[in-house]
Structure 1
Amino acid sequence: HAPNIITEPQVLSSLKDFVQKGGNILLTQDAFPYIVDLGLETERPQIRYVEARDGGYGRKIGLHAFKEHPVFDGLFGGANIYNPYQDVLCRQNGYFDDSFPKNGKVIAVDWSYIHLRENSKLMVEYEYGRGKVIAVGAYVYMAESNYHKNHLSLFLENIFNYLAERKEFEKKYYWDYQPNLIRHFKKDTPSIDIPSSKVWDKSPGSITLYSRDASEDFWDIAGQRLVIMGKERGGIEEIWAHPLMALRDYEVGIQFTDNDSIHWLNNQNPELEIRPESITRQYKFKRAYLKEIVTTSIDQPTGVIHYEYRGVYSAKIIIRFKSNMRFMWPYSQEVTGNLFYTWDPGMNAFIIKGGNKEFGLILGSNSRPNQHVIGPYNEVIKSDTLLMGVEGENFLVSGGLEFNLEANDNLDMIITASNEGLVELEKNYKAAIINPQAIHIEAIESTRGFLAEHTQVITPNSVLNEGYRWALIGANRFYVDTPGLGQSLVAGYSTTATGWDGDHQINGRPGYAWYFGRDAQWSAFALLNYGDFEKVKSVLKIFQDYQDLNGKIFHELSTSGVVHYDAADATPLYIVLAGRYLKHSGDLKFIRKSWPYIKKAVDFCFSTDTNNDHLIENTNVGHGWVEGGGLFGSNSTLYLSSSWAEALKEVAYIASSLGYTEQSLEYLKEHEIVKKIINEEYWNEKDNFFYYGKNIDGSFNPEVTILAAIPLLFNQIEKNKTSPVLGKFAQNGFSSDWGVRIVLEESELFNPRGYHTGSVWPLFTGWTALAEYKNGNSNQGYTHMMNNLLVYRYWAKGFIEEVLNGLEYKPSGVCRHQGWSQTMVSQPILEGMLGMEPNAFEHKVSLSPGLPVNWDSLTVNHIKIGNHNLDFKMNRIEGRTTYQFTHKGRRPLLLTFSPFFPPGTKIHSVKLNGKEYKTQINANSFQTHLKLNLELKKYATVDVEHSGGIDVIPLVPNPKPGYKSKGFRLLSTEYKAMEFLIELQGQSGSNEVIELYLLDRKIDRVDNAKLIDRKGNIHKLAVSFKKDKTRYVNETVKVLLK
């Protein structure tokens, strides 16, 4: 460990002899240069300095292997072994940039935050005779103040075990700095019998989005192992088989016999059909058309591109593609290693494989090409009649094929790729090439089965019904199985053309298509709501498998296997998810097995409260929610404190269910303390709103943010504080016509494109909708839920954007298709609008539907509570509402049913299965609701006879891409003694119309609005907003009833 002070030849000779005979030496820090004195190297290592500086996430620095090495056993391939208490300058001994150890193997490179500094080689291994020498040139500070002493201790223990050969290790990798080469290899597989392609049946019953004019908008088709992404007009931009980009720049051209021109499909304008299982493009030419269907296997790394050609004359189809086998970020493109390529006539396919014998790709067809070419080319072109490669300096394999098409012909292209080696790939390819349509049929049936097995909602609004189904399909698409890692939810899909490139020459970041902490947790809440318990169990399991030594839950786990822990919220949200999983599934066996991980996570959270104020902290722990920008910097944000309070409540429930009564009571007591702090200390009396966060000096950041929705949706807020907060949410400062911003439009921080300073996130909008539904503002909750849902009609059709611009209706984020954006459609519907609260462990569920006042029907199928299945129907005719329940389960289900009616409703009778039922009726100025406690065995019917009632039909803006916000908002309503007050906000000088639903009553007079139409119970009121210097004006409409 000490500097080089032993130089006597006799001592050095003795050390060399010791190693040669089987001894082992560990050299750390300034002893690293001994590798030269011992004769293991000729070139002396260099010295550099790096600063361990707190940029908001702590000062964690360390070392990382290429994939894995025994010295990182239990540390997931790398370890931040140094996390000092203060900013310090650290000395590194190692080989940097173009300097390499000539005789040693590089075990680890420098690692901090999300950066692998592959050219900073800080840990080297030597074999000399029968012994080993390991040199570690940085961060082994034994006496320093270090938050990560346990990481350092395990790291050193692993080194000693490895040197002493005390364990057997399956895999061991080293960083390889040899130049990457592209070479041909020969492979002659025995010919397989390949049936010819057939016409594919249409997808009967599949929900379909049609477009006559394709655009440059994004699309994706994904199974659990493969994701295919492209633009609508033509081709495929990228195919990822986690953890590698298998294929890119797949392009198709068609050449007719009467013309030498190639019609590249990327330049055409096809008709488009987007389905859950496929994308279909139909290209029309003079006297010919070509149909292309792209689909993927549900659970295998295999995709199919199917072609059907119909023409007066024959034609040729040209297909070209590229592959660089890009290993996912944070590794650079340099780690791919050598690539080998060939054409295998036996399989009628191209094969590309990596030198590591793991990465591989097979691309072939069930039609014999009349010519093919592949090699280390920048691209493939057709010159006269021949395909040929254009050489270049890019590290790429490019290939091309040409097929003859008869006047009535079909063709299938099969792609399969993975990191499991060629033997497995050949099995997948052979299975697919025999019957490509089977993959398509399986995908169709899987979609049907998925929708049939999970909660379905059918309303009078057909757009909502379709959008809800797409929301479930879009969320399910993020469940990814990565060999060697596990299964969980990735965050978002896009190609490497968008977003940050990771500081790499070739981008290895496909949107956010890797595993995240908070993303998976917020998304998984919705999966629980619609009953996909097994996937949520997998999400919890991967958190537990990769839990840090100190109990912290990861923020990101790339599918290339690199994990880091730079978020503060992932750990409390993991606890919340575990509690909700138990409530939804009743799976006490799994939770009991998970208790050590849950307890460790809770203990970690407690450890981060360094000032004993009962609040867990962001400082030296990580971000959560905001990762940077003007809002960043609080010691404890309201969002984090609220998440902690909810975690305490859920862990108390878990502990109680497991029989740990004393611990449960302690957690509940702490929950009440934190909740009180939120209501009292975080409350800003001046602004009548919550502070954003508590600073390290005890002061508070007064910025008004949408993050105040979190304690509201967790039901942590005192009733007298909910109205002013919800009122602000509904106004134009936060709300646009397509969702809500994190800060007010009038804030000094506001930037409509700012990631955390003004753009609209469907996530925030969903939080807001949940907060509104759970606190009585169901009309506003419906509006915000529909803001999210309606996005499915534009851009990545069927799916919801990650981020939208704060002033104009257009995308503003990295991913066109984002996980928690999808789930913030279904969660506000199921948990918000239906008010679903399960307790499967106790065989209970609560439903408190707050529906739009004009709905006369609702069907909800397959509500899952543990092993219970509940169907629910509502039908309303004049003065009578009927609720029907159908239950399946081994034992009765206890249902607390609290439907909401509009304010002013009079309840005349309630009958259960035809018999009078005495119910609790609660009425206030904005709603009336009943409360029934039912024991459901098989069937139950509740009939409610009622009269009266008045409410506004929710406002649902319908912006088109490029629109600006019109700014017409419903802020609040209040009913009192035959008088209905409607608080509205609109643009200065604007004229708007609201619809009022009124039952069994007549309007006597309307103030500040004009009654312009009436159809049945629906009255239309025209509202004019006065001209004013301010952009937005409030108006109170008063409706007096007879």
Structure 2
Amino acid sequence: MRSRSTLPCCITLLAFALPAQVINKPAQPNKFLEAVGRRAALLGREDGNFEAWVYPIKILRDFQLSVYIDNALEPTPLSGLAETVEVRPGHVTITHVTAAFTVRQTWVASLDKPAVEVLLDIDTSKPLKFRVSFIPEMKPMWPASFGGQSTGWNQKDGVLTFTEGMGRFRPVLGSPRFTRISEQIGHQLPDRTVMIEFEIDRSGRVPIVIAGSRSTYNEIIQDPDALVPAADTFYREFLNRTTSVQAAGLNPSYDWAKIAIEKGWACNDGVGCGLVAGWAPSGLSERPGFGWYFGGDTMMSAWAMQDYGDFAGARAALEFLLDRQRADGKVMHEWTQSSALLDWPKYPYGYYHADTTPLFLFTAARYVRQSGDRDFLQKHWAKLEQAYRFCLTMLDDDGLLSNQKGGAAAVETGALSGKVARDIYLQGVWLGGLAGFADLAGWRGNASLQSEAESRLARAREAIKPWFIQDKGIFAFAQLKDGSRYEANSGWQGFLIANGGIDRALAEKAAASLALPTLATPWGTRMFATDSPFYDPVGYNDGSVWPFVTAQTTLALFRHGQAAAGYRYIYGMAQATGLSGAGFISEYFSGDRFAEGPRAVPHQLFSSVALVHPLISGMLGLDGDAMAGRLTIHPQIPCSLGPVRFERYRVGDAWVSGAIRPAKPTSTVDIEVQGPTLKVVKQPAPCIDLQEVKPLTPGQRGQ
């Protein structure tokens, strides 16, 4: 794989290096900070407090470092001395400063081992005494549970071992510098804060390791400095092998979005490896944000992975879902990381969504189309057909899907909870899924199934037309159980408009409604417009701004004549990066002002997807079809943005690089393909006249 493209002689471009992904900022105690690996994580805040997980177990919470200053009887928490934070993809460092000493604590997670580490770089002119304090938990993710938790202290090695009644899990916390621990009770877990102390005579480094076993601890502590360069190298190589984009004001946020998605992998021996939905400290609960495996979230992440060329990751993510497909063909909605410790399918949550199964058909077809992975199609054809057959059991007489037969889709909570018979989002993913399955059947050579799916698709497209409200120019959100319609303008139309292949005139009218100020904010689209009956700007399902809904509306805007509004959403997502925590985009925002929603998860994968997917597939207009050996590019770039460059976009085994120069009457597009020959179809458009997009201010009111 090459590190950069060589463009034809007639194009002059400066070689550009990937930006150094380093965020330096003042420490903000309320902001999220993490070190996440595939098997363990530290989830905390920029003041240095955290909780530690070795999947699927929360080992401890409220971890805090303190230091005794000038022979004080009580130590001073370092959290109050946090000055700055440096965030890199592979590790984070908090700097604590006093007049007498400086402590830099670095958090890093092993990439593939169940271990995390806190490295303390201490610069002092005199001896210091430190205290580590935390509350022991030793609890698996909800809803599993343990009995008989206890701890044991090894004074010689400075290692504290946690265990549960059956002895299956024995994680440890330790450091060679630990010398003294508060009272321990050998047969049960301490019911109070545990304190461990250590002293240093001079400046130096102190490693603290939390690991899934003593053997892993021993391995890490032998070379405690190795984790940081290993993590840094991994993310540098990740950025170098995935699609890069150089566009003014978007580069760093785009790269951090890719990193945020890559940090979603979670593995444990009982479940395997899959993508979780997001990370956040669990506090007093037993789930770290959305640190479970979610079907819909995984598929959205797979769209972005395809966009930036991680075909292996996209396939692994989809196969994780197929491995948990129900016997009748339904695709999972959510799966706890502790499922090996209980009979998870007996709980009601695993398959209660109707949209995941048709969405899987759409996503699988998109994956096969761009990657050209016929092996995936051949290997999983039976399960793909089974998913299609299950969708047919959810049909109403008009060929559209029923929430009552299949489960929830757009609405889980809020004013419409329990009232929806059929919603527009479910119909959108059904049309997209039908089109996808028709393609899959065609590629497999099953003409009869392809014809059947195409016939159902044509019927469904006709059946959705009466949902369009001519005088409002929108598709109704839902048909309710009482026979009425909920006719509010909503961002939930976005998937149907972008991917449903519906009548173009209706799609263009509905896309225009997505740009109305009652629905649009500078940071994304509201779920429901401000003039809808139950609008609530902080209501979880009643008017807040969700990036994943914004992603769908953004594609609809680019594909149906509203490119200026689409670009504003991309820019809004870029500016939202870091509002919740350095490098991340929050789960959802207020519909009224630029602020996170109540209890929003700060690192949500589908929120980062909302920057990657519309940027690559919408604004740049890159559409790879390896099954046909074709690349279509239809860029829609603001005139004021200047040249946009991209490298390493993948279509099957081909790698594509190019430059787009926005101009009127027509933008110019230069493309170079390395690898198998592609038919390149260029559809350049005039650049977009765009009023200045002003920087957002946290707390800014929406329109």
Give the TM-score normalised by structure 2.
Answer: 0.92
Structure whose residues are more often strand by fraction: 1
> Which runs of 5 or more structure 1 residues have no equivalent in the other structure?
1-203, 378-390, 418-424, 498-505, 903-950, 968-1042
Q: Equivalent residues in 2 for 1:566-577 (5 A)? A: 566-577=352-363
Distance 1:374 1:957 in 2: 57
User: What residue in structure 1 maps to residue 218 of structure 2?
Assistant: 430
- Deviation at 1:614? 0.5
541-550 or 470-479, larger mean C-alpha shift: 541-550
Could you tell me which residue of structure 2 aligns to residue 233 of structure 1?
Answer: 47
Partner-residue secondary structure (3-state), 1:708? helix
Q: Give the Cα–Cα distance (whole angstroms) in 2 for the partners of residues 309 and 963 of structure 1.
A: 40
**1:78-97 paired onto structure 2 within 5 Å:** none
Give 1:756's match in structure 2, choosing from 541, 551, 554.
Answer: 541
Q: Could you report, residue by residue, the CA deviation over 1:196-255 in whole angstroms, capped at 9, with x for unpaired residues? A: xxxxxxxx974111222433111222111112111111221x122221112211110112
Letter in 1 for 2:393: S
Alignment partner of 1:526 is 2:304: yes
Larger Rg computed on CA atoms: 1
- Whether 2:388 is the aligned partner of 1:602: answer yes
Give the match for residue 151 of structure 2: 341
**Which residue of structure 2 aligns with residue 321 of structure 1?**
134
- Which residue in the other structure is 1:644 paired with? 430
Partner of 1:732: 517
Check conservation: 2:253, 2:577, Cα contact below 8 A: yes
Residue in structure 1 matching 2:409, options 620, 624, 635: 624
- Given the alignment, which residue of 211, 215, 222 partners 1:416? 211
Deviations 1:311-355 (A, max 9, x none): 221111211222221111123xxx311123222356442111122
When structure 1 is superposed on structure 2, of 205-214 and 571-580 the one drifting more is 205-214
- Alignment of 1:351 with 2:174, yes or no, is no
Q: Give 3-state SS (helix, strand or coil) of 1:437's partner.
A: coil
Shift of 1:694: 2.9
> Compared with structure 1, are the counterparts of its residues 598 and 248 closer, same or farther at alpha carbon in structure 2 (3 Å cutoff)?
same
Contact map agreement 1:206 1:444 (CA 8 A) in 2: no
Aligned to 2:690, which of 949, 953, 964?
A: 953
What residue number does 1:472 align with?
Answer: 258
Amino acid at match of 1:415: I
Cross-structure match for 2:4: none
Matched to 1:215, the amino acid is P
Q: Shift of residue 835 of structure 1?
A: 1.2
Q: CA deviation at 1:722?
A: 3.2
Match of 1:1011 in 2: none
Aligned to 1:194: none
1:453 aligns with 2:241: yes
Deviations 1:987-1022 (A, max 9, x none): xxxxxxxxxxxxxxxxxxxxxxxxxxxxxxxxxxxx
Q: Where does residue 484 of structure 1 map in the other structure?
A: 270
> What is the aligned partner in structure 1 of residue 230 from structure 2?
442
Quote how far apart the aligned CAs of 1:878 are.
10
Equivalent in the alignment of 1:370: 179
- Change in CA separation of 1:709 and 1:344 when aligned onto 2, cut-off 3 Å: same
Distance in 2 (CA, whole Å) between partners of 1:697 and 1:600 is 32
Matches within 5 A, 1:650-665: 650-665=436-451
Query: Do structure 1's residue 405 and structure 2's residue 219 form an aligned pair?
Result: no
Residue 545 (1) aligns with residue 354 (2) = no
Q: What is residue 5 of structure 2 aligned with on the other side?
A: none
Seen in structure 2, the aligned counterparts of structure 1 residues 715 and 287 have a Cα distance that, compared at 3 Å, is: same
- Between 1:478-487 and 1:564-573, the stretch displaced more is 478-487
Is the CA contact (8 Å cut-off) linking 2:27 and 2:46 kept in structure 1? Answer: no
Tell me the amino acid that sits aligned with residue 59 of structure 2: A
Distance 1:260 1:762, change over 3 A: same
Count of residue pairs the alignment pairs up: 676
* Match in the other structure for 2:397: 612
Contact 1:479/1:535 (8 A) holds in 2 = no
Q: How does 1:909-988 map to 2 (within 5 A)?
A: 951-965=688-702, 967=703
Distance 1:681 1:749 in 2: 23
Letter in 2 for 1:769: T
Between the aligned partners of 1:606 and 1:878, the Cα distance in structure 2 is 48
Deviations 1:567-588 (A, max 9, x none): 0001111111111110121111
From 317, 325, 337, give the equivalent of 1:559: 337
Secondary structure class of the residue paired with 1:901: coil
Distance 1:374 1:208 in 2: 42
The answer (yes or no) to whether the contact 1:293–1:306 under 8 Å persists in 2 is yes
Report the Cα offset of residue 635 of structure 1.
Answer: 2.2
Partner of 1:669: 455
* Aligned pair partner of 1:836 in 613, 622, 633: 622
Give secondary structure in 1 for the equivalent of 2:566. helix
Distance 1:359 1:814 in 2: 31
Q: Supply the AA of the counterpart residue of 2:325.
A: Q
CA distance in 2, matches of 1:250, 1:627: 34
| Deviation digits for residues 390-446 of structure 1 (CA, Å, limit 9, x no counterpart) | x9x9864753322222232211111112xxxxxxx2332122111122111110001
Deviations 1:645-681 (A, max 9, x none): 1111111111111111111111111111112222x22
Mapped to 2, the partners of 1:869 and 1:396 lie a distance apart of 57
The CA RMSD over aligned residues, in Å, is 2.3
Q: What displacement does 1:881 show?
A: 6.4
Q: 1:320 to 1:747 in 2, by over 3 A?
A: same
Q: In structure 2, do the counterparts of structure 1 residues 954 and 430 end up closer, same or farther at CA, with 3 Å as the change threshold?
A: farther
Partner of 1:713: 498
- Counterpart in the other structure of 1:301: 114
Three-state SS of the structure 2 residue aligned to 1:457 is: strand
Q: Determine the C-alpha separation between the residues in 1 that align with 2:421 and 2:562.
A: 32
Task: Report the counterpart of residue 576 of structure 2 in structure 1.
Answer: 791
Cα distance in 1 for residues equivalent to 2:383 and 2:700: 48
Residues 576, 647 of structure 1: 8 Å contact kept:
yes
2:472 to 669, 673, 687: 687
Distance 1:741 1:436 in 2: 47
TM-score using structure 1 length: 0.63
CA contact (8 A) 2:638 2:662 kept: no
Q: Distance in 2 between matches of 1:239 and 1:888?
A: 45
Compared with structure 1, are the counterparts of its residues 627 and 644 closer, same or farther at alpha carbon in structure 2 (3 Å cutoff)?
Answer: same
2: CA distance, partners of 1:394 / 1:352: 8
What is aligned with 2:32?
Answer: 218
Q: Aligned-pair distance for 1:832?
A: 0.6
Stretches of 4+ aligned residues off by more than 6 angstroms: 876-881
Amino acid in the other structure paired with 2:97: K
1:698 positional shift:
6.2
Higher RCO structure (Cα 8 Å, ≥6 apart): 2
Amino-acid identity (%): 25
Indicate yes or no: 2:73 matched with 1:270.
no
1:250 aligns with 2:63: yes
Q: SS of the residue aligned with 1:810?
A: coil
Correspondence for 1:823:
609
Q: Take 2:571 and 2:61, find their aligned partners in 1: how far apart are those partners?
A: 36
Deviations 1:566-612 (A, max 9, x none): 00001111111111110121111122111111111110110122x42
Query: Contact between 1:638 and 1:708, CA under 8 Å: does it hold in 2?
Result: yes
Q: Distance in 2 between matches of 1:796 and 1:962?
A: 16
Pick the structure with more helix per residue: 2
- Helix, strand or coil for the counterpart of 1:360? coil
Unaligned runs of 5+ in 2: 1-17
Shift, 1:541, TM fit:
1.4
After TM superposition, give the deviation of residue 699 of structure 1 in Å.
Answer: 5.1
CA distance in 1, matches of 2:651, 2:450: 23
